[in-house]
Amino acid sequence: MRTKAAVIREPGKPWEITELELDEPRQGEVRVAFAASGMCHSDEHLQTGDSTGRLPLVGGHEGAGVIEALGPGVTRVNVGDHVVCSFIPACGVCRYCSTGRQNLCDWGAQMMTGMLADGTFRFHDDAGEDFGGFCMLGTFAERAVVSQNSCVPIDPDIPFDVAALVGCGVPTGWGTSVYAAGVAPGDTVVIFGAGGVGSNAIQGARYAGAANVVVVDPVAFKRSKALEFGATHVFAAAAEAQEAIVELTRGQLADHAIITVGVLSSEVVDQAAAIVGKGGQVTVTSVGRSWEKQIQLAANGSVVGWQRRIQGHVFGMCNPLYDIPRLLRLYRAGQLKLDELITRRYRLDEINQGYQDLDEGKIIRGVILHGA
């Protein structure tokens, strides 16, 4: 079968729209016809070369669509099911899945190669070259063959464009506040970066009961959106936020700093560490450039002595099989804003425009509508 896809052959080149050959699903695999795909920053990290993976690669790791065909041995989903693809598969039986940490599933090992469980690839070009799908998905293709372990069934009345976002950005941001940071009622939380992930960290912090949700973002549009998502105070620069936090907390400083900027830097880690008080926590969600060191703190006074903690995580410490349906229930109950995250919808062949809009701070989240 043929499928249209946006691919990366070498870093630094624009997204290329091409046609690939797609194999039939094998043991435990399914073919998904994607209806919508979110444009996450992580795909751009690969396209620019900030992060490295096996190339060539079909981009896209936030997708929602319909199961079209089953390989042998599929038990979790059926043809016709609407699914969200989780950007980390959940095998259900590895050490991490079986201890309630599906975000650390051993199957995540092939995220950057896109190789499937039997060690082969389902996408190929006409020269016979194998293409991985980013995160074992490749949602920038109209169709992909993925493991059933990547699929989470959803109710058919949930729109595909909002559902797609619940495959990565929404749980990553919401879970950053609720699980990875563990924000408690009454806390003061400072969130650096109010994009597609940060907007959901704001919602998570409010949901967890934070009294103050202070947002730092240089882009005016993102600050005004942050207020819509529940921020109580917004600032363009860290220095202004620092001053306000001293005032707000009577000198005790914040309980949490959360880093959800586009590209992690040692500068923002410094700012975050300085804005939390004794026993405070800095939670790092952003991805940096693979060749840079982003955490370089004097232990005295920033970690030791102040009892501060720096916490990394993946996927907001969410369990996709549990948290994806749960977040969609919150959406349905009006307690999680998803429609408001989507600033603009694009056709697949407008993908480079979409990422340019993201870089220029014009959108919170762009969504590709396949077949549009």
**Interacting residue with Zn ion among 94, 117, 263, 303 (CB under 5 A):** 94
Q: Which tokens hold the place of 6?
A: 């946006």
Alpha helices, DSSP H only, in the chain?
41-48, 160-165, 169-175, 198-207, 220-229, 238-248, 266-275, 299-302, 320-332, 351-359
Residue 56 or 195 having the CB closest to Zn ion: 195
Report, in Å, the least distance between residue 195 CB and Zn ion.
11
Residue 124 or 289 having the CB closest to Zn ion: 289
| 338, 170 Cβ separation under 8 angstroms | yes
**Interacting residue with Zn ion among 6, 97, 234, 327 (CB under 5 A):** 97
Q: Which residue has the tokens 């980013």?
A: 134
Q: Nearest to residue 154, comparing CAs of 69, 80, 68? A: 80
User: How far is 275 from 322, CA to CA, in rounded Å?
Assistant: 33
User: How far is 273 from 304, CA to CA, in rounded Å?
Assistant: 12
| 148, 181 Cβ separation under 8 angstroms | no
Report, in Å, the least distance between residue 241 CB and Zn ion.
26
40 forms part of the interface with Zn ion (CB under 5 A): yes
Taking CB under 5 A as the rule, which mask of x and - marks residues 217-256 in contact with Zn ion? ----------------------------------------
91 forms part of the interface with Zn ion (CB under 5 A): yes
- Total site size for Zn ion, rule CB under 5 A: 7
Report, in Å, the least distance between residue 115 CB and Zn ion.
16
Q: Which stretch binds Zn ion (CB under 5 A): 52-60, 74-82, 95-103, 358-366?
A: 95-103
Q: How far is CA 253 from CA 19, 207, 221, 243, 260, in A?
A: 54, 21, 27, 10, 19
Taking CB under 5 A as the rule, which mask of x and - marks residues 98-127 in contact with Zn ion? -------x----------------------
Report, in Å, the least distance between residue 45 CB and Zn ion.
9
42 forms part of the interface with Zn ion (CB under 5 A): yes
Q: Which stretch binds Zn ion (CB under 5 A): 22-30, 87-95, 173-181, 259-267?
A: 87-95
168 forms part of the interface with Zn ion (CB under 5 A): yes
User: How far is 344 from 353, CA to CA, in rounded Å?
Assistant: 11
Residues that bind Zn ion (CB under 5 A): 40, 42, 91, 94, 97, 105, 168
